[in-house]
Amino acid sequence: MTKPMRLLVAAALFVVIGTGVARAQTVLVRNAPPGETIEVFLNAAKVGTATVPADGQTTLPLSLREHNAGKLEIDANVFIDVCENKIRRIIVVERGQPAATQEPGCERRDIPGLYFVRQVNTLVVDVGGANPTMMLIKGSYQPNRIRNWKSTVPTGLLAFGGLGRADYRDAALLSCGNAPTCHSDKAGLIFSGGLTFWLTRFLGAEASYFKPSEAKTDGSGSNFSFNSSLDTNLLMVAGRAGIPAGPVRISGLIGMNYQDSVLKTSNTIDGATQNTEVETKGWGLAWGAGMEIWVSTRIAISIDGGLASLKGEPTGGGEARLDDRLRYISGGVRVRLGKK
């Protein structure tokens, strides 16, 4: 169960982080004097020019594919020319290639280091101080973007539904017994749905319904054969404690489950067949963990996993009892209900 959970978490995080990847390579110049001209050079060729607006920040293109023989990545040094005629030149030079000529009246300043520049990078150059600095960013860069993190993780009533995989711990072992030949599909799909009410961003209560696939078993011996199926309906009531982090909330769950299961068995011995059916009901502990990622103010994708202890007494009397454990992992959608 651990490996699928890691894969689902990684996929979910990739959705959030991947949204920041830049669509085209750019040079972002910060803290430049308004009214000055910024020029960008790739090796000895000028590839972009712009006039600095009042906020001192401007963005220029830098396409390796277009201006450097189709290359998508280079090892480069970066220089800044500060010229008397209110021109600043950002010069990106591939290792081993000639740089743009230093014009009269221009002072060349070196940004120390060798940079691995790729098509997905943004070069953030700060020219505000005596010595220019540069950050090499993967993806886009928005230094003045304001984020209202608290509003992305809601409180109130949420509805959810999910689909995943579940397996019983002991169903196959108990049904097969000591039969020499036995096959069981103790694992299968699980459907879930329910409601969560978050009193605060950190504390909530949840009621949910789970429907796992039937656990089917068939086996045989020298003079007998049998088949059985375990069909379970599961209700869960629990509390949730969450840790919000931006648009993500990671939470733990603990509570009780009420199961209603029907075990059907058909035994054939020396040609004679006997069918039995036992229904059990009862309460057991349940616990788990989950993560929700809010892609809008009303919709989130979610990942959940957990364990439910299945305890049950026979409704028709007798000795048959259920004592098993159901493990599950599922992905789904959560929807915020009501007004904002």
Of residues 236 and 68, more confidently modeled: 236
Q: What is the pLDDT of residue 1?
A: 46
Report the alpha-carbon distance of residue 177 to residue 330 in Å, rounded: 30
Helix, strand or coil, per DSSP, at residue 319: coil
Confidence of residue 185 (pLDDT cuts 50, 70, 90): confident
Report the alpha-carbon distance of residue 16 to residue 322 in Å, rounded: 42
Q: What is the pLDDT of residue 9?
A: 42
The predicted model gives 5-14 an average pLDDT of 43
Q: Give 98's DSSP letter.
A: P
Report the alpha-carbon distance of residue 16 to residue 122 in Å, rounded: 19
Sheet holding 121-126, edge to edge: 58-61, 26-30, 121-126, 133-138
- Domains, the chain, ordered by start: 2-13+149-336 (2.40.160.20), 22-138 (no CATH)
SS in 3 state form for 31-97? CCCCCCEEEEEECCEEEEEEECCCCCCEEEECCHHHHCCCCCEEEEEEEEEEECCCEEEEEEEECCC
Q: Please name the helix (run of DSSP H) or strand (run of DSSP E) that holds residue 193, with its range, or none.
A: strand 187-198
Of residues 281 and 118, more confidently modeled: 281
Report the alpha-carbon distance of residue 203 to residue 226 in Å, rounded: 48
Q: What is the pLDDT of residue 16?
A: 39
Q: What is the mean pLDDT of the chain?
A: 86
Q: Which residue has the tokens 């480069």?
A: 76
